Structure 1
Amino acid sequence: MVSNSFGIPSVSLKCPAKINLYLAVDKRRSDGFHNISTVFQTIDLFDELILTPGVNDSYFKCNTDLSWNHENTLHKALAEVERQTGRKIEIGMELKKRIPSGGGLGGGSSDAASLLRFFAKAFEIETERVIEMASAVGSDVPFFLRGGTAIASGRGEILSYPGDVTGYSVDLSFPEVEVSTVLAYRLIDELDSFHCIDERGARQYYEALKARDTVRLKNDSLNSFQNPIFSRFAEIKDHYSKSLLEKPNAVVTMMTGSGSTIFSLFQGRMGKHKFISSEELSKTWFSTG
């Protein structure tokens, strides 16, 4: 059983969303995965995960119809902690979802990462081991252990942190449709819509962001999933077209991740959600009650 090392009855974890500011997907590897090259960025849209350690019987509650099974990333994360530590953990979880599921914003990965951060602190697990656990749960999970701005390669688990990008904001458009990552990759394979990865692409896009070079950002914006998803889901393409018309001052309008969310990028605070740095996250990730 997890001891309540915080000396409090519960802890509330903030689980930020991410957008992919640039995303190139290469053809399928021999192991069935795809290499990617991407620029990750956390934004100030959060799920909230409330944990109650030391309960007699574990429970999971959610304000959506999310099931507690092996497909749930929190379930995977808890199972990985139990496997790695050899402990049977009894803990209550209440998840307040604000990040749409199946929207390409990484909500499930972020939730799992926040849970791993909690157990890393509670059990004093070394950083490298936590990263290994995060990679076992999902490709995007390691990024959320830190957040901010990162350039990622491999399946998304190979990360570099060249320095946080600030001074931007985004508006989000949420089509009423979920897109599974499995389907998105299958569409890329079926349509041969991959991009041969040049490692400089994501780095150059990051540099354009830092330089506030709007011309380069417009010209070099890329999401390999976008056209395949638009070809399958007309409603997502409609949201994209509508966002282009309604937000002509945006630097870029594009889909994030494997969809379905469309984001419009602005300099300054014109958008509803600002970029949030790893330093800001480190100060606000945990609150107690």
Structure 2
Amino acid sequence: MQTITHAKINIGLLVPYKREDGLHEIRSVFVPIDWGDPMELEVQTLPKGQESTLVFHSENHLLGYRHALFEAVSERGDLSKNILSKAFSRLTPLFREPLEVRIFLQKFLPPEGGIGGGSSNAGVFLKHLFPYTILSPEEQIVFAKSIGADVPFFLQSSACFVSGIGEILEPISVAKGFGILAIPPFGLSTGSMYAGLQKSLQKPYGSEVWKSLAEDLIRSLHVGDWAYLQNRLENEFEKIAFQTQPLLKELKLGFFESGADFASLSGSGSCLYGIYKTEGKRNEALPNVSYRFPNMEFRTFSF
């Protein structure tokens, strides 16, 4: 089986409070994009009594310091620290029968980017292994959440309103969009970014903020009126990211100056993207932002 483990972008990201379990409650719109890590997956049933095994092979296409980050958790480093290996080990007791699973992963999605790189790999991996387990659909969500907060989103492929720590998903309709993703040569630690928000500890409470988005915001997502959404669906992490890495603030401005209708940090960063009204405007903008920010890696995408 050949597939792509897609990246995601966040259109708006609010962190209302820190939960009693130490994790942070979020509200966001997650949108899968058409760029990601190619993955080949082969599953073979083994005779009863044998142990399930994972055979992992990869090609590392990451640039800069991120290349070493992935090498350290690949089969050329300590594979036990890889999110796919961890997920497989925990899933093994739940298989109906022993399995040999072979993976070939081509790694392009950057760690410390805020676009769901490892979570996307894990979500697609689990999605194709869950049918071999005793888990119910509800239990599958709980299991995926235990691997990573964003992993449940990658079990499916539609845009979603997201709440909880990332596991409460409400599919929504989002218009087709054309964007440019900037991958800076530096990352932002998710833990440090959340700590920087300094959210107070509160008991979980229900919130209708995202469920009751004003009709004009819902319409704008549905029809792709990205300019209207700018300054109305904001990413709360930007205020910290722009202080930590001022180049990101310049990059966001650069997207607007190149004709973007909407631009935002994705997740807790460090990747930042711009959305353009048409594919043509996006393609015209690419050489402009590439020239202005020569140390950035840029990828075009659509959704």
Q: What is the TM-score normalised by the length of structure 1? A: 0.79
Distance in 2, Cα, partners of 1:214 & 1:60: 41
1:187–1:229 contact (8 Å) kept in structure 2: no
Partner of 1:251: 261
1:75 to 80, 85, 88: 85
2:117 to 91, 99, 107: 107
User: How far 1:130 moved relative to its partner?
Assistant: 1.9
Distance in 1, Cα, partners of 2:255 & 2:206: 28
Aligned identity (percent) is: 28
Distance change >3 Å, CA 83–CA 226, structure 1 → 2: farther
Distance change >3 Å, CA 71–CA 21, structure 1 → 2: farther
Distance change >3 Å, CA 201–CA 158, structure 1 → 2: closer
Distance change >3 Å, CA 268–CA 191, structure 1 → 2: farther
Partner of 1:46: 36
User: How far 1:101 moved relative to its partner?
Assistant: 1.7
Task: List alignment gaps of at least 5 residues for structure 2.
Answer: 47-51, 61-67, 283-299
Give per-residue Cα distances to partners, 1:127-182, cap 9 Å, x unaligned.
Answer: 222222211111111111112210011111111113x3122121111111122211
Partner of 1:280: none
User: How far 1:76 moved relative to its partner?
Assistant: 2.7
Distance in 2, Cα, partners of 1:126 & 1:94: 27
Give per-residue Cα distances to partners, 1:216-270, cap 9 Å, x unaligned.
Answer: 312303101111112112333343333333x2x2111111101011110123324
Partner of 1:180: 189
1:109–1:140 contact (8 Å) kept in structure 2: yes
Q: Which amino acid aligns with 2:276?
A: F
1:171–1:264 contact (8 Å) kept in structure 2: yes
Distance change >3 Å, CA 42–CA 57, structure 1 → 2: closer
2:57 to 58, 61, 68: 61
2:105 to 72, 75, 95: 95
Task: List alignment gaps of at least 5 residues for structure 1.
Answer: 1-10, 276-289
Secondary structure at the aligned position of 2:198 is classed as helix
Secondary structure at the aligned position of 2:141 is classed as helix
Partner of 1:36: 26
Matches within 5 A, 1:144-163: 144-162=154-172
Q: Which amino acid aligns with 1:62?
A: S
CA RMSD of aligned residues (A): 2.8
Looking at both structures, which has the greater relative contact order when contacts are Cα pairs under 8 Å and sequence separation is at least 6? 1
Distance in 2, Cα, partners of 1:236 & 1:62: 31
